[in-house]
Amino acid sequence: MRADARAGRADPLAVFRRIVPRDRALLALLAEHYLLSSTQIAAAFFDSRRIAQRRLTVLHRLGAVHRFAYPNAANTAVPYLYTLGPVGLQLHPDAYHDPDGRHAKTPRTSLERARRIAASATATHLLGVNQFFIDLIAATRLPNTAGAQLVRWWSEQHATDVYAQSGIRPDGHGIWHAHEHTVGFFLEHDRGTEDLPRVVAKLRAYARLTEFGPRYPVLLWLPTPQREANILRLLAGVHTPMPVATAVHGPDPAGRVWTLATDLPASPGRRRRLHELPSDHGPRSGTNPGHYDD
């Protein structure tokens, strides 16, 4: 009788057999970066949005992810936004747990974590930052970009912790490899909500980082051409130990969209691809340019 009862019980570990490598890669991103839309997930991992939606529905039913959507004024369909569910949090117990407070108390459940993310004032900003990196991942999946790779993608909290000595707080940090060039970078995702002198003032901390760490370009990802022109005027003649490049929000951050501040005024109008920006991996990278300390 007892044997029959045990045989009838559901295996609490059976769900993990249904989490395939692609699912694990997605859950790792949600652990590091909190929040991704169904559109972003489809671009990064799937061949079509329909296939992505099917798999995400399965993951939701398995408890691997939570999902929610913000209503809009037009009352039209909007993409689901995904965070770690209870199974996902079991796989990533050390996931970042509060986008508004690095030292906030650890949530008791994945649902509490999801509520914090959904209620966060930074959620829209997070999605914008994540879109930049998702566009890079999507670029690696195109037929004519063989060998391109997003080698590293760190969240604001991860990069802030690693480079705490300098005091930088980038919105994201990545290492991009394409056409046999490897470029590290720090992203400042600008939404036009700060005055420009304050944006430029952030570069002081990056200057401190050059004293002991990598010399990666700071990417100022700006919402309009006018704002880009204004910030380039502010940077004219200003010495920045860390390279600074600007571009306007668009779907191809790997493409020929970047203006390097030091190219002006000698080469007005020149735009570089991301892999063409200057990058020095610093004293900790050793003699192998493919080695990076994680």
Residues forming beta bridges with residue 176, ordered by sequence position: 150, 183
| Location of structure tokens 């972003």 | 40
pLDDT in tens, 69-86: 998 777 777 899 999 999
Predicted confidence (pLDDT) per residue in 44-66, tens digit? 999 999 999 999 999 999 999 99
Please say whether the beta carbons of 72 and 59 come within 8 A: no
Q: Kindly report the three-state secondary structure assignment for every residue of the chain.
A: CHHHHHHHCCCCCHHHHHCCHHHHHHHHHHHHHCCEEHHHHHHHHCCCHHHHHHHHHHHHHHCCEEEECCCCCCCCCCCCEEEECHHHHHHCCCCCCCCCCCCCCCCCCHHHHHHHHHHCCCHHHHHHHHHHHHHHHHHHCCCCCCCCEEEEEEEHHHHHHHCCCCCCCCCEEEEEEECCEEEEEEEEECCCCCCHHHHHHCHHHHHHHCCCCCECCEEEEECCHHHHHHHHHHHCCCCCCCCEEEEECCCCCCCCCEEEHHHCCCCCCCCECHHHCCCECCHHHCCCCCCCCC
User: How does the average pLDDT of the chain come out, rounded?
Assistant: 91
Half-sphere exposure of 249 (CA within 13 A, CB side): 14
pLDDT value of residue 145: 77
pLDDT score of 287 more than 60: no
Q: List, edge to edge, every strand of the sheet that includes 244-248.
A: 149-155, 172-178, 181-189, 218-222, 244-248, 259-260
Overall pTM > 0.85: yes
- The answer to whether 166 touches 283, Cβ cutoff 8 Å, is no
Q: What is the pLDDT of residue 290?
A: 38
CB 250 within 8 A of CB 276: no
Residue 288 confidence (pLDDT) above 70: no
Indicate the CATH number of 2-120 among 3.40.50.1370, 1.10.3720.10, 2.130.10.10, 1.10.10.10: 1.10.10.10
* Residue 75 CB partners (closer than 8 Å, separation 6+): none
pLDDT digits 0-9 by tens, 212-240: 999 999 999 999 999 999 999 999 878 89
- The residues of the chain that CATH labels 1.10.10.10 are 2-120
What pLDDT band is residue 284 in, cutting at 50, 70 and 90? low
- Give pLDDT tens digits for 188-219: 999 999 999 999 999 999 999 999 999 999 99
The strand pairing partners of 248, in sequence order, are 222
